[in-house]
Amino acid sequence: MTRPACPEPLDHLSRRGTADAPALVLKDRALDYAALELWTGRLAAWLADRARSEGWESGARVASWAGKGLLTCVMPLAAARAGFVHVPVNPVLKRAQVRHILSDCGARLLIGNSGRLDALHGGDLPMDCAALDEKIVTEQAERCRPLGPSAADPDALAAILYTSGSTGKPKGVMLSHANMWLGAESVAEYLAIAPDDRVLAVLPLAFDYGQSQLLSTWFAGASAYPIDYLLPREVVKAVGARQITTLAAVPPLWVQLLEQDWPEAAVAPLRRLTNTGGALGETLVRRLRDRFPDARLFAMYGLTEAFRSACLDPDLIDSRPASFGKAVPHVEIMVVNDQGQPAAPGEEGELVHAGPFVAQGYWQDPQRTRERFRPAPRWSEYGGTAVWSGDWVRRDAEGLLYFVGRRDAMIKVLGQRISPQEIEDAALATGLVAECAALGLPDEALGQAVHLVARAAPGTDGEPTDELLTALRRDLPAYMLPQEVHWRAELPRGATGKLDRAGLQRELEEAQ
């Protein structure tokens, strides 16, 4: 494989579209591509002026902590144009998490809305980090003479995206101009986004695919409609009101959306649905296909450390609902078994990702960088550094990939290794469960015992433990059956909307 070149710096994405389609449609304003370019230049100029007055170094980190408004949407391009590194902070994070991110990345500036900034205490900001209200910054930037497009090195650092921290404190993943530009190009290509598409940006902008919702839309010259929502029905309303053609979500959000009433005015405009943040599973695929029969459903796999990795051709979703497909453009995917060899068809192994999406490592964390970013296997076509994902997958005879589970999340019962996904899929298939998480808890006799945390499906009477276990006995071997089912009215979610499995694990272990 030939590594593709990054033809332009990231900030040039503001110049991809035409006057035929708006680039960014917010609650209070709409920007065409000329206005997006103007505001990219204005914010970049404001940052450059601030840097001169404060003595920032090249590559200084600029953090944003607010909902999806003008500043948070344009800042990824503006910071890159000014030669700085953007650090988006998820608005749902609290003081301690924000304090860690700002300290870890050494931010020189935090821009947020007044409500969030007022929640910070004196010691939450690094000594040389200022905090400014986004309204003040926007007003000042509007008076700036725009800074023209940059000539940045494609390998220069452009952003640091912090992971959700489900396994400890959040880690900052370093992304270059090339990582983000080529990622936007790849997604726009395999989704076939067109200039007349309207993309509802539901996912957090601090999430890798949340960033992609904007960047791939702009690469294609299409229109992005960012939305912050409290209730799933607000998403349904926005799809209908804005005539949205492209909607992305993570599996827990899809479950919530499917529990809403979808009028035909909201179903009809949808051309494509895209999934990330976890496997859909056959049951959820079938439900989505029933509700949105004319929309193309893209089952995808990615990780923050390498952005997008694989996608299933939507034409195969009905016949291969459990697969997440093959490598997307610019990516090489290898499946490596325990002996360090290419896994045979049907054999489980670790997913290893090589190519130009591979990030530059974790910010100021060489130990964890060495653990995850290692030389590609000797048979790799791309070579160089690869991301060793820690995800256990298998590839079938047709080359299609299937998720087995996180290597560190596998449940071991009497020496047998169990994929939580397999138990969860079986539980969902009964129709008694809306969503669930299978976990392994320490057990003296078994090594680990399977516990299932579940939310009952709407319309189910009470907590149908007996009915669920009876149904599971028909589909699962005895060693895979849950020893206990824990019913919840709601399952906890992390900052990106995915189920908080680590939190559930701690809760159950503490209760033992």
Class of domain 410-511: alpha beta
Q: Which segment of 43-47, 71-75, 116-120, 450-454 scores lowest on mean pLDDT?
A: 116-120
The pLDDT tens digits of the residues spanning 400-420 come to: 999 988 877 888 887 778 889
Tokens of residue 47, six digits: 């940052």
Check residue 444 and give its pLDDT. 82
**Number of Cβ atoms within 10 Å of the Cβ of 195:** 14
Q: Which two tokens stand for residue 185?
A: 């190009």
Torsions phi, psi for 184 (to 5 deg): -65, -40
More confident residue, 2 or 36: 36
Locate tokens 């895209």: which residue?
Answer: 274
**Per-residue confidence at 323, pLDDT binned at 50, 70, 90?**
very high
Report the candidate in 319, 394, 308 with the shortest Cα–Cα distance to residue 350: 394
What are the residue ranges spanned by the domains of the chain?
10-176, 229-407, 410-511
pLDDT-derived band at 166, boundaries 50, 70, 90: very low
3-class state of residue 187 by DSSP: helix
Same CATH topology for 10-176 and 229-407: the answer is yes
Percent of the chain topping pLDDT 70? 99
Is residue 84 within 8 A of residue 60, CB to CB? The reply is yes
Summarize pLDDT for 482-510 with one digit per residue, the tens: 999 999 999 998 888 889 998 999 999 88
Q: Which amino acid is at 69?
A: G
Q: Which CATH superfamily is domain 229-407 in?
A: ANL, N-terminal domain (3.40.50.12780)
At residue 153, the 3 state secondary structure works out as coil
Classify residue 1 by burial, with Cβ atoms within 10 Å: 0-12, 13-18, 19+.
middle
Residue 193 has pLDDT above 70, yes or no: yes
Condensed to tens digits (0 to 9), the pLDDT of residues 237-273 reads: 999 999 999 999 999 999 999 999 999 999 999 999 9
Q: pLDDT value at position 371? A: 94
Percent of the chain exceeding pLDDT 90 equals 80
The whole-number pLDDT of residue 462 equals 87
Angle at Cα 173 formed by Cα 358 and Cα 127, nearest 5°?
Answer: 150
pLDDT at 412: 84
At 285, the pLDDT band (50, 70, 90 cuts) reads very high
- Predicted pLDDT of residue 164: 66
**pLDDT tens-digit map of 418-431:** 889 889 999 999 99
**228-239: average pLDDT:** 95
User: Region 271-287: what's the mean pLDDT?
Assistant: 93
Does 174 score more than 60 pLDDT? yes
pLDDT(168) > 70? no
Neighbouring-strand partners of residue 189: none
Q: Looking at the domain that runs over 10-176, which CATH code has it been given?
A: 3.40.50.980
Entry pTM: 0.90
H helix or E strand, kind and range, residue 286: helix 282-291
**Does residue 167 register a pLDDT over 50?**
no
Q: What is the pLDDT of residues 335-385, one digit of tens each?
A: 999 999 999 999 999 999 999 999 999 999 999 999 999 999 999 999 999
Interval 194-204 mean pLDDT: 96
Give the pLDDT score at 227.
96
Q: Identify the helix (H) or strand (E) that includes residue 394.
A: strand 385-395
